[in-house]
Amino acid sequence: MRDDSKPDAPEPTRQWPPMRSWTFRVIDAFDASPTMRRVVLTADDIDEFAYKPGQAIIMMVPLPEGGVGRRDYTIRGMDRAARTISVDFVLHGDTPAPTWARQAKPGDTIEAKGPRGGTVLRPNADWHLLTGDETCIPAIAHILEAMPVGTKAFAFIEVGDKSGEFTFETQADAAIRWVHRNGAPAGPSELMNGVARDFPLPTGKGHAYIIGETSNVRRQRHTLIARGLTRDQISSEGYWRPGRIGGHDHVDD
Ligand SMILES: Cc1cc2nc3c(=O)[nH]c(=O)nc-3n(C[C@H](O)[C@H](O)[C@H](O)COP(=O)(O)OP(=O)(O)OC[C@H]3O[C@@H](n4cnc5c(N)ncnc54)[C@H](O)[C@@H]3O)c2cc1C
């Protein structure tokens, strides 16, 4: 056993609990919007699936060259009575994950691990700022749905145009604003940083959930820190970035 009282004891290494594996079976798949495909999944042991809104699973998606690649996808919702979870895939191109989602049909199976992720509701915050792009709609929507009545929330979501917008169900006192790229491609930009710069900070101790393209997330995090938020008031994670294949980026600097 490690003895921390000894001055020469080795530094502890960061240990994550092992993630559980699941075999999901497709129940249904349909377009949730012109740019988003929803896949509804079940598993024999789904009654044991425990997660917090905002968390994701790592799906083992078929690759064109054969084999599978790991892709992180948020749990958009769970219907315990129907024994299903749903996952929303942004149709951003002919890459492995959206290709799988477009072709998914009832009876198909896919392996996954999880759930994982720390972008989950901080119930003690006085107010909540959520920002992200299309890939973050499932997380933001699910966190908003889970908020207790009257929770003060502000969500800013970057989408291409009006066709990418959704209606959210929430009991929160939520102001939701869609930020249009107006023809610009998704990816690194100043758009959401402008939101972080101009957002009138409410009184009290809030929490910011900043997700999306990694460089956009980092810019917003630094802007909010410069405006006085402490590091522990910000949960930030890079969901994707140009050229990165699968995975995720820790943004905690
Ligand atoms: C915790 C977490 C939760 C996530 N939840 C969701 C979710 O619910 N729904 C969702 O759609 N995505 C989600 N993502 C993002 C998703 O995992 C990535 O977009 C992933 O790279 C998609 O895999 P792919 O096979 O399409 O592309 P990859 O093979 O991984 O990448 C191929 C190319 O596509 C580019 N690319 C990847 N994603 C995008 C994009 N969104 N827009 C433009 N170019 C892109 C890459 O930069 C790369 O150049 C999440 C990511 C994380 C870390």
Instruction: State the Cα–Cα distance between residues 167 and 148, nearest whole angstrom.
Output: 18
Domains along the sequence of the chain with CATH: 20-116 (2.40.30.10), 128-250 (3.40.50.80)
CA distances from 14 to 11, 17, 67, 253 (A): 10, 10, 29, 17
Q: What is the CA radius of gyration of the chain?
A: 19
CA of 90 to the centre of ligand 1 (A): 8
Residue pLDDT, tens place only, 81-135? 999 999 999 999 999 999 999 999 999 999 999 999 999 999 999 999 999 999 9
Ligand 1, atom 49: nearest CA belongs to which residue?
243
Local confidence band at 161 (pLDDT 50, 70, 90 cut-offs): very high
Cross-sheet strand order for the sheet of 56-62: 68-74, 56-62, 109-116, 20-33, 36-42, 84-90, 77-79
Q: Which atom of ligand 1 is the closest one to the Cα of 89?
A: 11
> Cβ(72) to ligand 1 under 6 A?
yes
Instruction: State the Cα–Cα distance between residues 113 and 239, nearest whole angstrom.
Output: 17
What SS3 class is residue 238? strand
Instruction: State the Cα–Cα distance between residues 87 and 13, nearest whole angstrom.
Output: 33
> Cβ(209) to ligand 1 under 6 A?
no
Contact 246, 135 (CB under 8 A): no
Q: Indicate the angle between helix axes 191-198 and 214-226, nearest 10 degrees.
A: 20
Query: Per-residue pLDDT for 227 more than 50?
Result: yes
pTM above 0.85, yes or no: yes
For a ligand 1 pocket test, name from 41, 78, 94, 240 the mutation site with the most ligand atoms within 8 angstroms of its C-beta: 240
What SS3 class is residue 236? strand
Residue pLDDT, tens place only, 29-70? 999 999 999 999 999 999 999 999 999 999 999 999 999 999
Instruction: State the Cα–Cα distance between residues 70 and 66, nearest whole angstrom.
Output: 13
Instruction: State the Cα–Cα distance between residues 61 and 94, nearest whole angstrom.
Output: 13
